[in-house]
Structure 1
């Protein structure tokens, strides 16, 4: 006896909608989308000023507290004393402290001495002296109370700074080369384009409800210091054969738990077109981006599914209304490190001085010291970098030595070891509700230990320490990427530790780090592990061979 065929279930066979507005899916498909539809995140500012700052923490609507506050750079920080094993178990209200992290947006990393002093004052007055430079050129403060936020905003805005869209499903800070306009070898100064996008579109309701976070880089730097390969949208300086300068457009980069490298659209963008092309790419993300599942809502998933040919076609036909010409790829990044640490000449005869705090950790007092040192040496311009470092511009030749001496007296090193120069760390469990392990203190101690054990090692080597799988510290593209997790020690006890990624890189041969099966370490054993693998590399490397190149050919035993 044959079983009769069931009638076709047309609803079952229809492709599941991804929540793309342009395809008619306007109803929210998850809680985050519902919250954004109920009220634009930009509207929370007035409630903070009028209600929450006056009535206190307990008056805050949960949808604002854990959602819309991010549109103004505010996250509740982690309640002290909660270990990493509980990060994924506890409810948000159990992890929340009554204090906030506040992210000051610094597009292009560009600060005047006056602006730096204001941030330093806010740190000292309202944030228990905390200040961390991020790898996206922002400065993050901690221990901020909601009652203080309106006055903090007033102080920032009085000097041209703000926190608008520093977090949230928005166009976050635009990263740029700290040497824009002064580097002798830059392809093009991207400052006008960066500022035009910032002034026209940041805080614009047209782009205040994107599917997820959205990261932009614009630069003409020959070192490629803005790591365009891992941004949602990036404009990279290029020059045509006839000497015309403009930008190459990249889209769809991003790391986190499903890393993807950005892809070239093979177009040439003239400087005057950059802002509208940026708006076109951003509009594609807004309209066609996936809104059903948060973990698939980044632009990289759409680019990966569409491919560059379709993406370019939609950009040109639906959003720009004109074709973009084909263009050249950027020149490879200059050799060596993609940062700006050290003393180097500017095009005007002055010098810039880049220096390395410890894994981006500063303080209000140290920021004040930097402002004072810069001013005493005739500079009014200070920059933050994408490597958690800082740069002072416009130093006259006869004042360089004095400035360097004063910085180094504050342990702000201009000629740091490889380990001080290239170790980065995310916020970690000290303040972050997503973190599983401690990062900043561990990374700082790791630097000291490696300098003691390997005093003569001077080859470029990046060590990036992350407290969870989300890769704020870019672990997949580091020489040694450390992903925080709980591991078992020799006594069978669960302790803080790391999964290890080896040989990641961006640039000429971009690729994600190699994961060796079972390669993990406890936090306590981390210095021993890194010393061992670095010594193996140092002994086996060929002339000019990078760590990433060596990892690809190394025996597994030498990587453990």
Structure 2
């Protein structure tokens, strides 16, 4: 694979489409830094900041931190300054980043689909209780996120992570962000192929590797061999999805160019078969294309999805084969959509006679004590360990048949429900204004209250309806791919006052159907009015649906007055 960190340009085997204007593509000789982020990365590789944290900033304190490190390179170490308390959402877009900075950090710890044993869970728990005011969240990227971290404590935290085989390295920043792996890899009875060895090898080769530490922007990876598509491959930059070739057997298709935020795009499928041991090379090839040909002029166009959209999937495959892999890939049909949820909540049989159990916290919010308690539970019942999911849930694996009920009860004591209501199971929320400098509204506590109210109003809902709550337009909680997606913004209440509110997306989905939700023109819902709005829409759906019709399918044909919640239909009484 060509190394284009230097100015030399290798011979090119394919004709590369050139944008109408220079977009900062290294492989086309467009080397000059085009924004402050590119200048910062050119000035010093962000991986170098680790030593400054260990030997300077942690000893001299917050005020000693170089601003270019604080608001740039720290991200490669999994650190963001969190939002200063007391700044309302209406001021988010009008303040400079340094005005929003608190003197505390969010730290993101990557799991990369790995099985967390009792030692790892207790290490995470101790970090939460000892250094993070007992905070901990499970993100929809299978990470643990801590808050209230002080720079002086980072070396001690890293030492605990190292001892447990965990890391915050490149958990943020313009590099290989944490990988998504199937939570039931290696144990699910219906698994096509276990992608764990490929993820481990990608991590070994390419994490903390300066060949891949300066990408145009964030880069998200998923690998799953489970037919539920439990790592949401359609919205990752690069995804490997389990398939079975009629001659070669199990392997992976390759999907590229997915991503959400303000310009959502689903990944394009190459329709190939890649054997397990060649997945790391293919990953490096795709990542190399992004590094060398990705757009660096504008941050808003610097994701891989824009390059894939401009090139097309055929050209992308041609460049990958000719310039990076130097071999042709085997063609085959891409896998069909999923036919089941990929959150793995509930009790499920493993292929070895044991069971795995998926359990739901409330919108991913747990704490250090929960993680420590989970470690104790894993040890008490000699479980294989726990994995995090891409739906803010967790799964414990290797439960003996005789222990299933006891483990379910033990999880519930920790606030982790293996038999949750629809609303608890199917609601996700991003960090929100509590800690995030980009957020406009509260998400976590608002979602908790929403779930409690909807459980009262619809206690026996007979069909899944997903609700994703996001604090800003960046879609960290996948707003556009939920039945009901809520994007935080400022709205006007009945008296004309500015209050927290949401733009509504309806009928989105991912996995079983890949659809972006329908935005209702000029329609906002205040946070205070959210319970009643969702109640009206869900009630209308239950009254108006046909036999077996999903919420998303109903949205496509429903009268807009029903979607706006302006008219509540009552379901027909059951005979």
1:512 and 2:516 correspond: yes
Partners of 1:401 and 1:88 lie apart in 2 by 49
After superposing the two structures, state which structure 1 stretch, 504-513 or 163-172, moved more. 504-513
After superposing the two structures, state which structure 1 stretch, 452-461 or 30-39, moved more. 452-461
Contact 1:332 1:508 in 2 (8 A): yes
Contact 2:339 2:512 in 1 (8 A): no
What whole-Å deviation, never above 9, does each CA across 1:502-557 have from its counterpart, x for those lacking one?
Answer: 00012353110001112210001001001110111111222221111110011101
* Correspondence for 1:107: 112
* Correspondence for 2:444: 440
What whole-Å deviation, never above 9, does each CA across 1:464-504 have from its counterpart, x for those lacking one?
Answer: 00000000000001100000000000011000000000000
* Correspondence for 1:238: 243
1:369 and 2:373 correspond: yes
1:481 and 2:485 correspond: yes
1:500 and 2:508 correspond: no
* Correspondence for 2:168: 163
After superposing the two structures, state which structure 1 stretch, 503-512 or 128-137, moved more. 503-512
Partners of 1:529 and 1:109 lie apart in 2 by 40
Partners of 2:30 and 2:325 lie apart in 1 by 23
Paired residue secondary structure (1:107): coil
Paired residue secondary structure (1:102): strand
Partners of 2:368 and 2:226 lie apart in 1 by 30
Contact 1:180 1:190 in 2 (8 A): yes
1:197 and 2:165 correspond: no
After superposing the two structures, state which structure 1 stretch, 238-247 or 281-290, moved more. 238-247
> Structure 1 regions of 5+ residues with no counterpart?
1-13
Q: 1:305 aligns with which of 299, 305, 310?
A: 310
Paired residue secondary structure (2:271): strand
Partners of 1:171 and 1:165 lie apart in 2 by 7
* Correspondence for 1:404: 408
Contact 1:109 1:138 in 2 (8 A): no
The equivalences for 1:34-53 within 5 A come to 34-53=39-58
Note the C-alpha offset of 1:411. Answer: 2.8
Contact 2:134 2:367 in 1 (8 A): yes
Partners of 2:162 and 2:479 lie apart in 1 by 34
Note the C-alpha offset of 1:243. Answer: 6.0
1:151 and 2:151 correspond: no
* Correspondence for 1:27: 32
The equivalences for 1:201-216 within 5 A come to 201-216=206-221
* Correspondence for 1:71: 76
Partners of 2:21 and 2:46 lie apart in 1 by 28
What whole-Å deviation, never above 9, does each CA across 1:412-469 have from its counterpart, x for those lacking one?
Answer: 1111011000100000000000000000000011100000011111311110000000
Note the C-alpha offset of 1:209. Answer: 0.1
Partners of 1:453 and 1:298 lie apart in 2 by 41
Partners of 1:371 and 1:544 lie apart in 2 by 41
Note the C-alpha offset of 1:271. Answer: 1.2
The equivalences for 1:8-19 within 5 A come to 15-19=20-24
* Correspondence for 1:133: 138
* Correspondence for 1:539: 543
The equivalences for 1:423-462 within 5 A come to 423-462=427-466
Contact 2:360 2:417 in 1 (8 A): yes
Partners of 1:494 and 1:205 lie apart in 2 by 47
Paired residue secondary structure (1:388): coil
* Correspondence for 1:284: 289
Note the C-alpha offset of 1:301. Answer: 0.1
Partners of 2:462 and 2:409 lie apart in 1 by 22
Partners of 1:123 and 1:538 lie apart in 2 by 42
Using the size of structure 1 for normalisation, the TM-score is 0.96
Partners of 1:15 and 1:474 lie apart in 2 by 32
Partners of 2:118 and 2:492 lie apart in 1 by 48
Partners of 1:242 and 1:460 lie apart in 2 by 38
After superposing the two structures, state which structure 1 stretch, 171-180 or 534-543, moved more. 534-543
The total of aligned residue pairs comes to: 547
* Correspondence for 2:227: 222
Q: 1:420 aligns with which of 396, 402, 424?
A: 424
Cα pair distance change 1:351/1:324, threshold 3 Å: same
Q: 1:350 aligns with which of 354, 372, 379?
A: 354
Contact 1:109 1:137 in 2 (8 A): no
* Correspondence for 2:122: 117
Using the size of structure 2 for normalisation, the TM-score is 0.94
After superposing the two structures, state which structure 1 stretch, 313-322 or 539-548, moved more. 539-548
> Structure 2 regions of 5+ residues with no counterpart?
1-18, 565-575
Note the C-alpha offset of 1:109. Answer: 4.7
Q: Over aligned residues, Cα RMSD in angstroms?
A: 1.2
Contact 2:337 2:513 in 1 (8 A): no
Partners of 1:518 and 1:400 lie apart in 2 by 49
